[in-house]
A and B are shown apart, each in its own frame.
Chain A
Amino acid sequence: MQETILEVNGLNAFYGRAHILFDVDLKVRKGEVVALMGRNGAGKSTTMKAIMGMLSRTQGEVSFMGNAIAKSPPHVISKMGMGFVPEDRRVFTDLTVLENLEVGSQAEREGAPYWTAEKLFELFPNLGEMPHRPGGNMSGGEQQMLTVSRTLMGNPYLVLLDEPSEGVAPVIVEQMANMIMALKKQGLTILLSEQNLQFADLVCDRAYVLENGHVRFEGTMEELDANEDVRRNYLSV
């Protein structure tokens, strides 16, 4: 079995006085694609933001490649080789495609796939056609590709991918699935938050299911597919 790259123990998170995450435990091993599933408001995005150091109030332990990062700010965590793709994309609309990629670029990292703008344009030919277009003048799907590419420019070991299939056209969803599989082949580890079980089945190895900030299920995709109770109680709409 591969070594553990990310380990979260007893993670609690708060927004102001509201307690959002309750003792979340999870593990991601090198080379895996792990799904973080649950309905809207279950705490998927909050978990990712907490891991990435973006929340001001959290408790618990987060270890990334053997380093404790629970108290580290986002830029330090990013420099260690963790990438984050937010669900609302957040491309820099005033910057061109190439400039967006420039913001994300970091030095080459041993043992992680190395990305350049050219390689990303191979992965996303659409982007290659518009290197000088401002991010604001792109379609939702194109922005989604740009935001993933921007994060990959940091040559991460692990990417937190927050709902890449949300709010984009079905054809883009398919491209996203292909992209995730391509990235996995390159050796990238991915923690993917997702509501759509079919999408997760397609690309993920294991899944955690969240409900109201608690982990309710943990297992392989086959186990999740077979567990009707979990799917009915925590996933179906």
Chain B
Amino acid sequence: MTLSGLLVQLLNGLVDASSLFLVASGLSLIFGVTRIMNFAHGSFYMLGVYVAYTFVSHMGESVGGFWVAIILSSLMVALLGALIEIVILRRVYRAPELFQLLATFSLVLILQDLALFIWGPEDLFGPRAPGLTGSIEILGRNFPQYNLVMIVIGPAVLGILWLLLNKTRWGVLIRAATQDREMVSTLGVNQAWLFTSVFALGCFLAGLGGALQEPRIPANLALDLESIGTAFVVVVVGGMGSIPGAFLAALLIAEVKALCIALGTIHIFGIDFPMSKMTLVAEFLIMAIILVIRPWGLLGKPQATARNDHSAEPPLRPSLPIFKWCTAALVLALVLVPVFEETFPYAQIILVEIFIAVLFAASLHFVMGPGGMHSFGHAAYFGLGAYGAAILVVTWKLPMELALIAGPLLAVLGALVFGWFSVRLSGVYLAMLTFAFAQIVWSIVYQWDDVTGGSNGIFGVWPSDWLSSTTALYYLTLSIMLAGILILRRILFAPFGLAIRAARDSSLRADAIGVDVKRVQWVAFVVAGLFGGIAGAVYVFSKGGISPEAIGVGRSIDGLVMVLLGGVQTLFGPIVGASIFTWLHDSVARETDYWKAVLGMIILLIVLIFPAGIVGTLSHLWQWIKHHRPLQTKKVEASK
């Protein structure tokens, strides 16, 4: 590596830092005031690129026209953001954190399909910036002029934001609201408009960040999740709500990545380390390190002990005899399904898919319902279990029976490591960290061609002969799922299960009566990881292979939706949720190209109208019917 090469890479780092900062500062600003971690922020960035593509293509031939187009695009995105805030987000500010995260994630899905609908699936290469198409020479290397402008824009925006926040009444109100929203409103400030304006500004910054990329990268539909992952990392590393922190973190991360690229492949002890491939992992490693040594980020402030935001959950009750009989009947019916193979040839295949989904959802529910830890990266364990089994069978030529047992152990290992870090955090931070770990797993799998097959995945993983028939596989999956659910359920009613729930309801009190909260949560994490891994291993054999798409963010979110669709406060909820979700996915995805938008709408429906999920809503209804009369008299008494 030469000096000039290093210098150019460091300058490239500054360019990336600027664009990272634009996206992350908006995210941080929005989080600071509204306390909402906006998953859709990357989508606003993506829309910025697309809208700028359209505007610049139409009016960007002159220098003035180009910059007007950039500003106009950012304003359009800001307007859309304000609209979404008013119509949707205003309804979820009082909802539990988990629902807020999901509501914004539903926007990711809907906005992505919106972009697909308007601009189509192809990558769009936009025109370059007039007047800045050349390059300058630095130590004999060419450096694009446009990149120099990018380097300047980051610090300039930082300066403008600082002035805005410190020298205007609006800024003072924003900073006050970041600290104590309720107090601000008792002083006569209408929070609703303050929130809308902040959200619009945040979206403007995301849109600007995207629009400025228009001459550099093609507009494509993967930009949203790509950018949100990194933006999260920047915000968490910098300290949530801190704008200078976001700048510092953007600089740190972008430069570390630039260094990784500059180093290329290095040789240590005869082993090649392709550092340039480490960039994705690098940012998440930085975040993991920062979160452990300084959980509130570089320039953030330790948050006051989070108030228990989930409403009091009813205790779990042993099931009634009638419920047990119904379950037994259902199992019997499932056992008999292969008998009717002729009439419903497709039933076994879809049911196998449902069983796997049920086991996956039940394992996620274990950690997020009774465990109270909202994991946004449960796909990691599914993926580790799946790849573990696939590698054992294909590379190591082990028989399926062994792989089915040993594969999930990889998931356990992952859960041991990730869980150790994760249980040290809570709330949004925990959600972000689990999300980051899942991204690490995904990027390792995606980039480690020699072992995982890279983007192609591993195929040709078929079951042993005696299990190769559809029916045999059906019975295997059914029994694994049933065993898994019964074991998870048994654990929840054991003393350990009581400890988990105690730790969720009040970690301080649980600590005080002798429950080692962190250890209990860690074990819960590992148990959930194990069963998630088993679901992954079974999945591999049912599909004959595995690829990175199957273990991405989408799987984590599917899991969350399954659990919430059924109802997070019930044990039967995730089972119903996973079944309905899988069936719905199977039938709707075949009919439309816009499954994501449909899924997004479903999530919004759950969050806004049925927060208790299907099973929860039904059981509330049942309780209401049962106690209709006493409830009514109570109400009359109260209103007297």
Contact = CB atoms under 8 A, between A and B. Distances in A.
Contacts of A52: 186
Given A99-B172, A102-B169, A75 B182 contact: no
Contact of A92 (B169, B179, B189): B179
B169 A90 contact: no
A44 interface: no
Interface string A171-183: 0000000000000
A95 B175 contact: yes
Contacts of B189: 75, 103
Contacts of A104: 187-188
B280 interface: no
A56 B95 CA distance: 13
Contacts of A93: 179
A122 B159 CA distance: 36
A73 B183 CA distance: 12
B175 A73 contact: no
Contact of B182 (A12, A54, A94, A100): A54
A84 B94 CA distance: 22
Given A59-B638, A92-B179, A94-B175, A84 B186 contact: yes
Chain B interface, DSSP helix/strand/loop, else mixed: helix
B186 A78 contact: yes
A154 B186 CA distance: 10
B639 A59 contact: yes
A99 B172 CA distance: 7
B312 interface: yes
B179 A75 contact: no
Contacts of A100: 176
Given A90-B180, A92-B179, A93-B179, A74 B169 contact: no
Contact of B188 (A12, A54, A59, A154): A154
B186 A75 contact: yes
Interface residues of A, number: 28
A143 interface: no
A56 B93 CA distance: 13
Interface residues of B, number: 23
Contact of A74 (B172, B180, B185, B312): B185
Interface string B154-184: 0000000000000001001101101110111
B187 A94 contact: no
B188 A106 contact: yes
A119 interface: no
Nearest to A78: B188
Contacts of A59: 638-639
A151 B183 CA distance: 10
B303 interface: no
B172 A95 contact: yes
Nearest to A93: B179
A78 B187 contact: yes
A16 B312 contact: yes
Given A12-B638, A73-B185, A99-B172, A92 B180 contact: yes
B188 A92 contact: no
B575 to A, nearest CB: 29
B187 A154 contact: yes
Interface in A1-48: 12, 16, 19
Nearest to A23: B640
Contacts of A213: none
Nearest to B311: A16
Interface string B305-324: 00000011000000000000
Given A75-B191, A79-B188, A102-B169, A86 B179 contact: no
B633 interface: no
A29 B185 CA distance: 25
B592 interface: no
B175 A74 contact: no
A94 B185 contact: no
Nearest to A84: B186
A86 to B, nearest CB: 7
Contact of A103 (B176, B190, B639): B176
A75 B172 contact: no
Nearest to A147: B183
A90 B186 CA distance: 12
Contact of A75 (B178, B188, B311): B188
Contacts of B639: 59
A150 interface: yes
A92 B178 CA distance: 9
Contacts of B190: 75
A92 B186 contact: no
B638 A74 contact: no
Interface in A75-134: 75, 78-79, 84, 86, 90, 92-95, 99-100, 102-104, 106
Contacts of B179: 92-95
A173 to B, nearest CB: 23
Interface centre among B175, B186, B189, B638 (most CB of A within 10 A): B186
B638 A92 contact: no
10 contacts: A16-B311, A16-B312, A59-B638, A73-B185, A75-B185, A92-B179, A94-B175, A94-B179, A99-B172, A99-B175
6 nearest CB pairs, A to B: A78-B188, A74-B186, A103-B176, A74-B185, A75-B185, A104-B187
